Amino acid sequence: MSRPRFPFIAKDVSALARSLQRELAACAMSSESARLTGGASGTPDGPASDAACAPVNAPGASPISGASGAHCATDAPDAPPTSGASGPAHTTPRAPGHVSHVQLLNMLVRAVGYRNFQHYRAQFAAQERLERLAAPEPTAPEEPVDLRRVERAARHFGPDGLLARWPGKVSLQRLCLWWVWSRLPAGQELTGTQMDDALRACHHFGDHALLRRWLCDLGMATRTPDGRQYRRVEQRPPQEALALLQHLRDRERHARRTAHAPSAGRGATTA
């Protein structure tokens, strides 16, 4: 069974070692064997004056505790043999003062400020969940824009910014319809008369019914079955349509600035 690997970081390995020594000494003191407790030596509570603060970074606390547990079990004195010369193998009883894997895990994480290993694991799992929530959603790559098609579609609009003629190619018709769609009021129900008036104000070739039919067929607008109510469908135009709309807006602003600019001979006086 696979286990999650938790990153384990201790900024001061000396403090970690002292904490483990204190925990192991406490385990030895609580043992019923007077022989082991009598041989335990005290450990300094305070930090050594010349101790270096060295960071330790391991991919998980469990491998460290497993190695420490094996080391403690190996160093335990008078451990009974695991099997006889001729008899069947049997389980080795734990030596007095033996520290279990869970106890070592708790010692390690307490040395870096957690209550126990369950507390450390819960904190790490919560941190991972928060990081996933804060991570931005992956966005789909933007589709390439055919600027030549945008340029050809822009040629069907007059100097006043209105649609001067209906394109012959379907790809250009769809692009020009997005401009017509942008001129419809957003989030409003329109009667048939209001829809026709809005479409007449968008073009010069005099066929608002064609524009209305194409808008409904392509899903840019909806209408009731009786044809009395219309509504623009709110959606994001494709990249080429956005490029066309931006180009037409820039061209319209440039035309307004040119019209309002003072002429060169405006300030000249007549003799």
Q: For residue 141, is it within any domain?
A: no
Tokens of 214: 């194409």
* pLDDT score of 75 more than 50: no
- Domain check: are 152 and 119 in the same one? no
Q: For residue 29, is it within any domain?
A: yes
- Domain check: are 165 and 206 in the same one? yes
- Domain check: are 110 and 164 in the same one? no
Q: Total domain count for the chain?
A: 2
135 torsion bin: left (phi>0), alpha (psi -120 to 50), beta (else): beta
CB atoms within 10 A of CB 137: 4
The model's pTM is: 0.47
Range of the domain at 16: 1-43+54-74+98-126
- Domain check: are 151 and 185 in the same one? yes
Q: For residue 232, is it within any domain?
A: yes
pLDDT in tens, 152-193: 999 999 988 899 999 999 999 999 999 999 999 998 999 999
> What's the rounded Cα separation, in Å, for the pair 128 and 138?
18
3-state class (DSSP) for residue 51:
coil
Q: For residue 163, is it within any domain?
A: yes
- Domain check: are 61 and 181 in the same one? no
- Domain check: are 169 and 211 in the same one? yes
pLDDT reported for residue 136: 67
Q: For residue 108, is it within any domain?
A: yes
Tokens of 197: 């008036």
- Domain check: are 116 and 161 in the same one? no
pLDDT in tens, 85-96: 444 444 444 454
Q: For residue 93, is it within any domain?
A: no
> What's the rounded Cα separation, in Å, for the pair 32 and 36?
9
